[in-house]
Amino acid sequence: MLDFFSIFSKGGIVLWCFQGTSQIFTSSVNALIKAVILQERTGQLSYDHDNVTLKYKLDNEFELVYVVAYQKILKLSYVDKFLNDIHMEFRDAYKNELQLQQFGKNFEISEMFTSILKSAEEWGKLQAAAPKVMKSFEESQKSKKTVASMIERKGDDKENKKVKKVEIKVPDVKIPEPINVELSEEDLIQQKRREFAEKMAAGKNKSKPTTEKLKSPKAASKKSKESRVWPLGGAPKDMETLDYTKDKDLGESPLPQQAVYLPDPKAIGTLQGEVRDMDFESESEEEEEDVEERGKNDYVPQQVSQQKKKTGIFSLFKNLVGSKTISEEDMAPVLDKMRDHLIAKNVASEIAGKLCDSVAAKLNGKVLGTFESLANTVKASLTESLVQILSPRRRVDILRDVYESQKQKRPYVMSFCGVNGVGKSTNLAKICFWLIENNFRVLIAACDTFRAGAVEQLRTHMRHLNSIHPPEKHGGLQMVQLYEKGYGKDAAGIALEAINHAQEAGIDVVMIDTAGRMQDNEPLMRALAKLIKVNEPDLVLFVGEALVGNEAVDQLVKFNQALADYSASENPHTIDGIVLTKFDTIDDKVGAAISMTYITGQPIVFIGTGQTYADLKTLNVKAVVSILMK
């Protein structure tokens, strides 16, 4: 029961459209495009908007998008099959026009559509009607173990158990087990034979290569468990061998004598003079080491395949000349390398994974030009995605907005939130300096009533700023004022009073400094949400440090969620912008910027690059992306 189906080009022109109901789906499809595709979340193939679920398929060869919409409460199983079928049919029918990009033609595919839809629906019904097939014995877990290993006998060696563990780790094979009782040695032989048979059968195995890489060498080496000899332990029967008393006859002891240390004559004199520098490893070597160390990623890649070793000169030529369609298997090694590179640059591992999935979805099926290499295409696509993520989704011009509030005779309210120690108060002072340089008067509201010295810190900043911009230069008006009520009071109340005071005094900007809080701390998150809800600031800025790694994901998600959940209104005011601090400390590991903008979708408004007032900058998207991809 599809409500809506449409084929349109990536440039936006609709080639064909089917509408089952009178509901207008334009806004839903536009929301899908804006939220998913333009936000580089193309890894997820379905999107919910209002009561409608939208599923889409990208055709990267001809730059088309196929979108299906249906009611969210229905769980249609045949939609994916339908999309694939109609993609194939449409492509075959109109290949010529699509290659020439003649989108103005009238595409008449109603019969094609109804027939494919019918077949897909029937397929869906068959799938639902078919009784659930029981797993065959080959597919079950039991076939992996030998019968001998499952029989528990008293006094069995630990060897058997080790053998059993080894077998389970070995990837699944659909070979029926002989049912007979065997000894452990013969078990080993059988298992070896099985492994050999697998390798000969060759096929793509679907297990995770990381576990295979790590665990198979270990499994291969440990055949049996040797009993460990502890020097200080042991039974009384070992007394003689463990006796190290001096007057013992040396000939009786089976252990080696105490080692006589002979100096190595070759090493003497080689380290004279100054200590020499480390050898400089080339970049590629370092990357390989990183890959090996990072064998166990938190994020497990979704597309996993074995690398086909391409041998022969002809494959080399084929890659250079002629059109080649990109498939997922081709891209997997390149994407893995890219993902590791991003993680090495401090992008959160989850985000790096999602980005690589998104690039894979965008390039799957695309035809390579004659002298383009796969690695370059993937790299270019990834660079584009990064630029897209870092580019702001809305206009970022705080001075203009402050000017607008000034005209409306009300103060522009900015609030700063974040975890402990990221630099909220320092960057608040820097932004304050920038604003007073542009001739706006600022009121700082000291809503950090918990940390010792918070109010004094802000007072010192206020005095300092006022001495840089004395009232005489600005027509007798004090540029920076501080509104504080000491410690221990309610932050939301202080903020409210501060805003009212600013309104009366005609102050242009109010900056609310809040206490740092951990994202898991529920009462504090509630208090923050209450402050935001009660005071309705124009800008809620999340302050995060650039040094943060995977924590950024957790912090931002929980902050956003807290602001949404505890606000008890229909349109909660979530984070509007990000301030990235301590940027001067990270050298070229700028990945935190990507993690934060990807999670929230909000732009980075300010970047803090030091401790003085002038160390405030904005984001230069191209420069940061080039540093990231270097």
- 348 part of the interface to another protein, by CB under 8 A: no
242 alpha carbon, distance to own chain's centre: 55
Report helix, strand or coil for 552. Answer: helix
- 241 part of the interface to another protein, by CB under 8 A: no
Conformational region of residue 50, where left means phi above 0, alpha means psi within -120 to 50, and beta covers everything else? left
Minimal distance, residue 269 CB to another protein, in Å: 49
Q: Which stretch binds another protein (CB under 8 A): 244-252, 298-306, 516-524, 611-619?
A: 611-619
- 50 part of the interface to another protein, by CB under 8 A: no
Nearer to another protein, 494 or 580 (CB): 580
- 62 part of the interface to another protein, by CB under 8 A: no
Provide the greatest CA pair distance for the chain.
Answer: 105
Nearer to another protein, 66 or 483 (CB): 66
Angle made by CA atoms 37, 39, 45, in degrees to the nearest 5? 40
Specify whether the CB–CB gap between 606 and 368 falls below 8 A: no
Q: Describe the crossing of helices 374-390 and 349-363 by its angle, rounded to 10 degrees.
A: 120
- 629 part of the interface to another protein, by CB under 8 A: no
Pairing of strands 509-514, 577-581: unpaired
Amino acid residing at 14? V
Nearer to another protein, 154 or 400 (CB): 400
Q: Which stretch binds another protein (CB under 8 A): 6-14, 119-127, 188-196, 228-236?
A: 6-14
- 36 part of the interface to another protein, by CB under 8 A: no
Specify whether the CB–CB gap between 69 and 25 falls below 8 A: yes
Q: Which stretch binds another protein (CB under 8 A): 24-32, 289-297, 452-460, 549-557?
A: 24-32
- 84 part of the interface to another protein, by CB under 8 A: no
Q: Distance from first CA to last CA of the chain, Å, rounded?
A: 49
Conformational region of residue 476, where left means phi above 0, alpha means psi within -120 to 50, and beta covers everything else? left
Minimal distance, residue 381 CB to another protein, in Å: 12
Residue of 1, 20, 21, 30 that binds another protein (CB under 8 A)? 30
CA-CA distance, 3 to 79, in Å (whole number)? 12
Nearer to another protein, 65 or 120 (CB): 65
What part of residues 93-112 is at the interface with another protein (CB under 8 A)?
103-104
CA-CA distance, 542 to 560, in Å (whole number)? 10
Nearer to another protein, 64 or 332 (CB): 64
**DSSP notation for 428-497:** HHHHHHHHHHTT--EEEEEE--SSTTHHHHHHHHHHHHHHHS-GGGGTT--SEEEE---SSS-HHHHHHH
Q: Which stretch binds another protein (CB under 8 A): 90-98, 258-266, 396-404, 563-571?
A: 396-404
Nearer to another protein, 391 or 478 (CB): 391
Residue of 124, 209, 333, 392 that binds another protein (CB under 8 A)? 392
Show the tokens assigned to 290. 């990183």
Nearer to another protein, 77 or 612 (CB): 612
Specify whether the CB–CB gap between 342 and 386 falls below 8 A: no
- 63 part of the interface to another protein, by CB under 8 A: yes
Minimal distance, residue 84 CB to another protein, in Å: 21
Nearer to another protein, 39 or 478 (CB): 39
Show the tokens assigned to 226. 């040797």
CA-CA distance, 272 to 517, in Å (whole number)? 54
Report helix, strand or coil for 396. Answer: coil
Residues in binding contact with another protein, number by CB under 8 A? 49
- 328 part of the interface to another protein, by CB under 8 A: no
Residue of 17, 112, 242, 380 that binds another protein (CB under 8 A)? 17
**How many other CB atoms sit within 10 Å of the CB of residue 406?**
16
- 404 part of the interface to another protein, by CB under 8 A: yes
- Contacting residues toward another protein, per CB under 8 A: 8-14, 17, 26, 29-30, 33-34, 37-39, 63, 65, 103-104, 384, 387-389, 391-395, 397, 399-400, 403-404, 434, 437-438, 583, 606-607, 609, 616-620, 623-624, 627
